[in-house]
């Protein structure tokens, strides 16, 4: 085997998705909707697969022409920059592959990459596999967490971030809305990060897969739209999250063609191209949303409205058993502090693991409820400080919510 496989073998999704299945637990762990995508994209998919031979064959390597045009048209308006569909967009197998291409194409041996914690776990192995070194800076709860009620109370210290920058720093990775916390970065926070990127000539990898899911007036801002950031930001998106179709695995990276062209090289020599019919369907989805943008019929209005109700429901379930949720401003996850729950974690097989991993294993095995331990989203050096939280996914149907409420009651 190759050395690059060493040290990146553990994966929280592989482990906990399997465990949830083994114990037939109610799965509020892995983040995916348990309902179908909206009818208009389902119809577009069906139409695509019955629409003639070309929909079943290869399409353009860097993105189906119809899709890159739809993405460019849609996001030019959002980002305030004219996006060239053939130069500035790369369609990938989910946001995962967009991230992978970004790290492989733009990070060299010995480069340092600053990752803001908590972070979607794959950034770390991807930096390592590219030969880089991950450097971490955590969002921290104000007042040490005692009064924290919202993900907005977790903040990034400008001084701490600046102190991590060295001559070897190549990029800063952010994720807004954040998984697992739900933080939606405010424009001032993004401006602080942008100022550092510009001052030190750094790239910014901005993972925005939950961009349409914001609540209570929180506004998602693209860091690429700030002055001086377009040409240094790779913005990553996902049709899986955008249209509740995670199994289609359509994602994209949008940036200046000067950066995208290097990512295309990784893509053409690995995946080469993505499923044609799924891209066609996503393209129709974006065209519809372009027309309905900002109206109540837009799925980008309807999905967050539905999720807002689910978020309230989950929060009250948690409160009813004495758990204090950190209310997410965006995304479809909610974390809660479990240090007040009195359980005897005496399972010998997990005794060397962190508290939250042990707790979640107990919850799955003994209570039939799967969640995700939050320390999985922190670096080894900071995970000890953040090992008393678990993450719930609330993009789930009502019936499950009730079932879950019952399961949560068993915590009492």
Q: Which residues of the chain form contacts with ligand GLN (CB under 6 A)?
A: 13, 30-31, 179
- Three-state SS for 276? helix
Residue 13 or 362 having the CB closest to ligand PMP? 13
The DSSP annotation for 101-149 comes to: HHHHHH--TT-EEEEEES--TTHHHHHHHTT-EEEEEE-EEGGGGTT--
Q: What element of type H or E holds 326?
A: strand 325-326
Residue 62 or 243 having the CB closest to ligand PMP? 243
| CB 95 to ligand GLN: min, Å | 8
Residue 234 or 407 having the CB closest to ligand PMP? 234
30 binds, among ligand PMP, ligand GLN, none (CB under 5 to 8 A by kind): ligand GLN
94 binds, among ligand GLN, ligand PMP, none (CB under 5 to 8 A by kind): ligand PMP
16 binds, among ligand PMP, ligand GLN, none (CB under 5 to 8 A by kind): none
| CB 316 to ligand GLN: min, Å | 22
237 binds, among ligand GLN, ligand PMP, none (CB under 5 to 8 A by kind): none
Residues 280, 67: contact at Cβ < 8 Å?
yes
Nearest residue to ligand PMP, using CB? Answer: 94
Residue 85 or 373 having the CB closest to ligand GLN? 373
175 binds, among ligand GLN, ligand PMP, none (CB under 5 to 8 A by kind): ligand PMP
386 vs 312: CA distance, rounded Å: 24
23 binds, among ligand PMP, ligand GLN, none (CB under 5 to 8 A by kind): none
| 62 burial via Cβ count (<10 Å: 0-12, 13-18, 19+) | buried
Residues 136, 118: contact at Cβ < 8 Å?
no
| CB 391 to ligand GLN: min, Å | 8
- Return all residues near 397 (Cβ < 8 A) that are at least 6 apart: 34, 35
> What is the rounded (10 degree) CA torsion for 65, 69, 71, 75?
160
| CB 379 to ligand GLN: min, Å | 17
Residues 43, 51: contact at Cβ < 8 Å?
no
Look at residues 95, 49, 40 and name the one whose alpha carbon lies nearest to residue 291: 40
Residues 379, 124: contact at Cβ < 8 Å?
yes
Q: Centre a 10 Å sphere on the Cβ of residue 317 and count the other Cβ atoms it contains.
A: 22
240 binds, among ligand GLN, ligand PMP, none (CB under 5 to 8 A by kind): ligand PMP
Residue 13 or 40 having the CB closest to ligand GLN? 13
Q: Centre a 10 Å sphere on the Cβ of residue 277 and count the other Cβ atoms it contains.
A: 21
13 binds, among ligand GLN, ligand PMP, none (CB under 5 to 8 A by kind): ligand GLN
Query: Given the rule CB under 6 A, which residues bind ligand PMP?
Result: 31, 94-96, 120, 175, 179, 207, 209, 238, 240, 246, 251
| CB 91 to ligand PMP: min, Å | 11
| CB 343 to ligand PMP: min, Å | 28
Residue 209 or 260 having the CB closest to ligand PMP? 209
Nearest residue to ligand GLN, using CB? Answer: 31
Look at the block and give the residue holding tokens 């915590």.
Answer: 411
Residue 165 or 205 having the CB closest to ligand PMP? 205
| CB 238 to ligand GLN: min, Å | 9
Distances (CA, A) of 365 to 280, 337, 350: 42, 20, 12
Look at residues 344, 352, 335 and name the one whose alpha carbon lies nearest to residue 389: 335
Instruction: Name the DSSP class of 327.
Output: B
Residue 225 or 238 having the CB closest to ligand PMP? 238
354 binds, among ligand GLN, ligand PMP, none (CB under 5 to 8 A by kind): none
- Three-state SS for 153? helix
Residue 31 or 251 having the CB closest to ligand GLN? 31
Residue 70 or 371 having the CB closest to ligand GLN? 371
| CB 28 to ligand GLN: min, Å | 10
| CB 178 to ligand PMP: min, Å | 8
| CB 13 to ligand GLN: min, Å | 4
Residues 170, 197: contact at Cβ < 8 Å?
no
- Three-state SS for 23? coil
């Amino acid at each position: 085997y190759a050395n690059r496989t060493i040290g990146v073998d553990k994966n929280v999704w592989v482990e906990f998705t399997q465990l949830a299945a083994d114990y037939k637990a109610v799965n509020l762990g892995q983040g995916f909707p348990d309902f179908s995508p909206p009818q208009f994209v389902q119809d577009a998919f069906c139409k695509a697969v019955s629409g003639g031979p070309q929909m079943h064959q290869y399409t353009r390597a860097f993105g189906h022409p119809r899709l890159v045009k739809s993405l460019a048209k849609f996001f030019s308006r959002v980002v305030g920059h004219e996006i060239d569909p053939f130069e500035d967009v790369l369609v990938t197998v989910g946001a995962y592959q967009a991230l992978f291409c970004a790290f492989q194409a733009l990070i060299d041996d010995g480069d340092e990459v600053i990752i803001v914690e908590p972070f979607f776990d794959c950034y770390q192995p991807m930096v390592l596999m590219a030969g880089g070194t991950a450097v971490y800076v955590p969002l921290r709860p104000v007042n040490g967490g005692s009064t924290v009620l919202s993900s907005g109370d977790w903040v990034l210290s400008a001084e701490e971030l600046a102190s991590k920058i060295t001559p070897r720093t190549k990029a800063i990775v952010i994720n807004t809305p954040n998984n697992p916390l739900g933080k939606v970065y405010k424009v001032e926070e993004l401006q602080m990060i942008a100022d550092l990127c510009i001052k030190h000539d750094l790239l910014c990898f901005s993972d925005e897969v939950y961009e349409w899911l914001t609540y209570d007036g929180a506004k998602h801002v693209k860091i690429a739209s700030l002055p001086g950031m377009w040409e240094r930001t790779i913005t990553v998106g996902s049709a899986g999250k955008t249209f509740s179709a995670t199994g289609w695995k359509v994602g994209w990276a949008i940036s200046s063609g000067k950066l995208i062209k290097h990512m295309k090289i990784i893509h053409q020599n690995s995946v080469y191209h993505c499923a044609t019919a799924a891209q066609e369907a996503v393209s129709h989805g974006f065209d519809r949303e372009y027309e309905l943008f900002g109206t109540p019929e837009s799925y980008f209005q309807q999905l967050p409205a539905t999720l807002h109700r689910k978020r309230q429901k989950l929060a009250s379930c948690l409160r009813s058993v004495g758990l204090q949720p950190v209310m997410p401003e965006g995304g479809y996850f909610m974390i809660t502090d479990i240090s007040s729950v009195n359980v005897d974690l005496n399972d010998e097989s997990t005794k060397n693991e962190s508290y939250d991993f042990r707790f979640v294993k107990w919850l799955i095995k003994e209570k039939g409820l799967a969640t995700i331990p939050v320390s999985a989203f922190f670096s080894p050096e900071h995970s000890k400080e953040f090992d008393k939280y678990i993450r719930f996914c609330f993009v789930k149907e009502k019936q499950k919510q009730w079932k879950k409420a019952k399961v949560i009651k068993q915590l009492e």
